[in-house]
Amino acid sequence: MNYLFKHCGVFIFSLSLLVFPILSLAQDEPQPQILQTATRFVQQSEYDKALSLYNFYLQFQPDHIQALSQRAVVYASIGEFTLAFDDLDDAFASAGFSALDQAIIYNNRAQVHFRNRDNDKALADFDRAIELNPSFANYWRNRGILHQIMNNWDLAIQDYEQYLVLNPADVEAYLSLARIYLSQNDYTKTITALDSTIDLTPDDPELYIFRGSVNLLAEQFAPAARDYMDWLRLINTTEYTSTPITSATEQRTVEMTYGARYYIPFDAHSGDRFAVSANSQGVDSLIILIDPNGNPIMANDDGGQGLNAFILDFTLPEDGTYTLVVGHARGGWDGDIELTIQIVAGEDI
């Protein structure tokens, strides 16, 4: 299945259920070990365990700003909003006039408002946290996530970009930018964001199939073909070389399993027209054309009905031996693929 159509909508929907992943911490102050453990429990949604640790710690440090404001987020996560706001009031009273401490509380109160389905108040608190401590990267990311949830696309982009200035190695932030740009049909910026993601994590096959799908939308066929070849390479495929195509029209069946790819060579001349359909009941077929120099030049995923792929009427650029590569994308890989391959000589057109 085409990566971007399978995952883009799911990602946006999941944001409505998102727990902002980083509780606000003092920027240069290490947390006590017990609070680090509690924070991990929050990130794992193990709220009962986190609450027990915060309760224990606050018996001995009842005015601890981080513990109070973090416990407030836990209370909100289990629907205890009165207790959450009580903790936040106590945290503000303890913070006094410290801008950094107040920023921590505003950020965490924003998360409480978010869980209470009050996005406008959450946004106002994120604004205040950034005003008080604009150099703390996570505040920009959290507000960017909220702007994305609220469909404030331009503001979300601005926040993510500022976050990446402060924290340039966050793959998920680049992916968020890519999805926003894609929702606006800005394929160039989508690809640029994915380029940055791949630079940071070059061994993640999912990124290549995502970028390949966007390249196809942008009608950048050779880059799409290279991306799909990288996807196949990174999922540790098993290679099979088939007998060459020798007639103008051929039908073949390949048996697909996870990680398999088939190489089918054929000789052709410049100006010949090439077409192939790859149909299957259960396989998300993927096809790539490689030129006589070994360069991927054309590809398709889901161009046909359902999960089927096809290349229709592609003009071959030079004489030599081409290779059709048949593999699978993400939507399924067990079963037969029925291939129909046609090569029409240029002089016959």
Say yes or no to pLDDT of 23 above 80: no
Tell me which DSSP letter residue 277 carries.
E
Kindly tell me if the per-residue pLDDT of 4 is higher than 70: no
The 8-class DSSP code of residue 79 comes to T
Mean pLDDT of 86-111: 94
Q: Output the CA–CA distances (angstroms, integers) from residue 156 to 62, 147, 239, 248, in the order listed.
A: 36, 5, 43, 53
Same fold, 3-167 and 238-348: no
The topology (CATH level 3) of 3-167 is: 1.25.40
Residue 67, φ and ψ in degrees, nearest 5: -65, -40
Handedness of CA 292, 294, 297, 298 (dihedral sign): positive
Statement: residue 348 has pLDDT above 90? no
Q: What whole-number distance in Å separates Cα of residue 343 and Cα of residue 275? A: 7
> Domain 238-348 maps to which CATH number in 3.40.50.300, 1.10.3720.10, 1.10.10.60, 2.60.120.380?
2.60.120.380
Average pLDDT over residues 94-111: 93
Domains of the chain, residue spans: 3-167, 238-348
Q: How confident is the model at residue 304, as a pLDDT?
A: 60
Average pLDDT over residues 225-240: 93
Give the integer Cα–Cα distance in Å for 341 and 63: 73
Q: How distant, in Å, are the alpha carbons of 33, 71, 112, 146, 337 from that of 20?
A: 21, 14, 10, 9, 43
Mean pLDDT calculated for residue range 270-297: 95
